[in-house]
Amino acid sequence: MTSQYRVNYHLRSHKRDNLIEFIKGMLLTPFVLHPHDEESKATQEQENANRYAGIFGSIEMLIDEHRELLQAGIPTHSRLAKLVPSIGTFFTRLPLEAAFRHINRTNRISARKHVPPSFNDIRRILNMAQVMAIAPELQLVTFDGDMTLYADGQNFADDSPLTVLLIRLLRQGINVAIVTAAGYGTDAMRYEQRLSGLLRGFAKEELTPAQVARFYVLGGECNFLFRCRADYRLEFIDDTMYASSSLRSWTDTQVQQLLDVAEAELADCVRRLGINAQILRKPRAVGLVPHEELTREQLDECALSSQMALLRSQGAPKSEPCDVPIPFCAFNGGSDCWVDIGNKLIGVQILQEMIGSPPQATLH
């Protein structure tokens, strides 16, 4: 079997989300037990839709119970926690039944005879439910950059249809932020180049100073924050004005020591794998940039080797990169490999703290 994924192939555990897999299994039962009858297509499609909707309604109630017990301090006592032990925190209700019916009107999931509800179907329904739940209270929307708002390694295009949507959010008083792994230090012009099409869109639509001031860019995962000025240029905000207590606790000496470990490990990968590559050191990151195309497996090896070396250096070889004293990201970027200090979760939390947006009013 082949795959088109070049990014984090061996690290894509999120592609098998346990909650989604649980929902998939629940939906498979009516798909298998109630096949379509050629003589009553419309009726059976509606019956199937009702069965699927009922399942989503039941899961909605499980989530409600889980949230109630979370507030009571005993989330592990919920039925959902017993069915899906890895379940996380829900900051809002999720109207899953309504979201399913909305998606089904367009995608006709219940009309399919040969393809059961898929991972992507369920993720789309979960996303729709989250949008429905958060819309009345929404204060902050954050986006990834590469492979979300624009193609990997490319700039935000002048003709991107997303420009109109992002401008609409800003005009409605919602804060918009791009949280990206791209790290150019405090060089605002480099970020302006990547987002040139969007910033020109702001100018063309003559957004007011108050509107553009709600647009942020957070680079290097969580290390370099910029805000849009009235002249549609980006202005660097010194981290002493926003950094959370966890970020302030990282001294520059500690950061550089950690990057020394990452740099040494990447150098060992170059030697061990016979890679023709350059190692680049930045203030809060270190990366391996090959002079020739590497295979996905080579890049994954570099990322995983760096991750294990950094976990060992912090005395936590069995922990996750987000659960150590200095969190970090080690990732295969598709054509290169990078280690960044911090992560996007910290980046979103910094923005929440700065803007005053609680988790239940934030969408990433």
Provide the annotated active-site residues: 144, 146
Helix or strand (DSSP H, E) at 302: helix 296-313
C-alpha span between 42 and 32 (Å, rounded)? 18
C-alpha span between 200 and 115 (Å, rounded)? 43
C-alpha span between 176 and 215 (Å, rounded)? 5
| Nearest residue to 341 via CA among 234, 232, 239 | 239
Cβ-contact 247, 255 below 8 angstroms: no
Cβ-contact 155, 196 below 8 angstroms: yes
Residue 300 has, within 13 A of its CA and on its CB side, a CA count of 11
C-alpha span between 134 and 91 (Å, rounded)? 9
Contacts of 233 (CB under 8 A, 6+ apart): 188, 192, 199
For residue 353, the one-letter residue type is E
Cβ-contact 321, 311 below 8 angstroms: yes
| Nearest residue to 88 via CA among 317, 322, 341, 347 | 322
Burial class of residue 240 (count of CB atoms within 10 Å of its CB; 0-12, 13-18, 19+): exposed
Contacts of 240 (CB under 8 A, 6+ apart): none
CA distances from 43 to 48, 53, 251 (A): 9, 15, 65
List beta partners, residue 363: 141
C-alpha span between 125 and 102 (Å, rounded)? 9
